[in-house]
């Protein structure tokens, strides 16, 4: 473990999936502190409000003592500098993610060369999950219980009133 090292795991987490949670657990084993930073991007239409996303993230990470949940807006590298953190965590699900994530990592490096991006792969059984796919399944009344933590499933059912 990198002693005294903090990392930020940024994302929209709209909503958090078991894949996100898997990456959070992996990061928490590597870093002394992990800040799960939910992006408050007003330009993007979110399924859940930032307040709801943060509440769900706090609930599903409550048993991981070195994880803290926060929000941020703007560039993640600016947020990282404000928090004095120089490591960003990004999850890589499938090879199709790589091009997009690599582009983001290189852009962030251009903006802030002192901030490193670390890619973590989730477990195989959750490597296909995305929030977009999850929302589609939930909207079409599919069973999402194996895809999300129970707290998120509850909120999805409330939102979709089923």
Q: Where in the sequence numbering do the catalytic residues fall?
A: 20, 44, 93, 131
| 99 exposure class (CB count in 10 Å sphere: 0-12, 13-18, 19+) | exposed
Strand bridging mode 2-11 / 31-39: parallel
Helix (H) or strand (E) holding 95: helix 95-111
117: CB partners within 8 A, 6+ apart: 87, 88, 89, 90, 104, 105, 108, 109
Q: Give me the sign of the Cα torsion angle 74, 111, 107, 66.
A: negative
């Amino acid at each position: 473990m990198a002693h005294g090292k903090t990392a930020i795991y940024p994302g929209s987490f709209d909503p958090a999936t078991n894949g996100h949670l898997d990456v959070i657990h992996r990061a928490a084993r590597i870093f002394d502190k992990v800040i799960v930073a939910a992006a408050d991007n007003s330009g993007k239409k979110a399924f859940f409000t930032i307040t709801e996303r943060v509440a769900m993230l706090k609930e599903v990470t409550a048993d991981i003592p070195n994880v803290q949940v926060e929000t941020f807006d703007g560039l993640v590298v600016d947020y990282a500098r404000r928090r004095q953190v120089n490591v960003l965590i990004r999850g890589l699900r499938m090879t199709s993610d790589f091009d997009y994530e690599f582009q983001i990592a290189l852009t962030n490096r251009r903006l802030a060369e002192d901030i490193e991006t670390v890619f973590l792969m989730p477990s195989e059984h959750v490597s296909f999950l995305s929030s977009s796919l999850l929302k589609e399944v939930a909207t079409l009344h599919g069973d999402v219980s194996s895809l999300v933590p129970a707290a998120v499933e509850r909120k999805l059912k409330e939102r979709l009133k089923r």
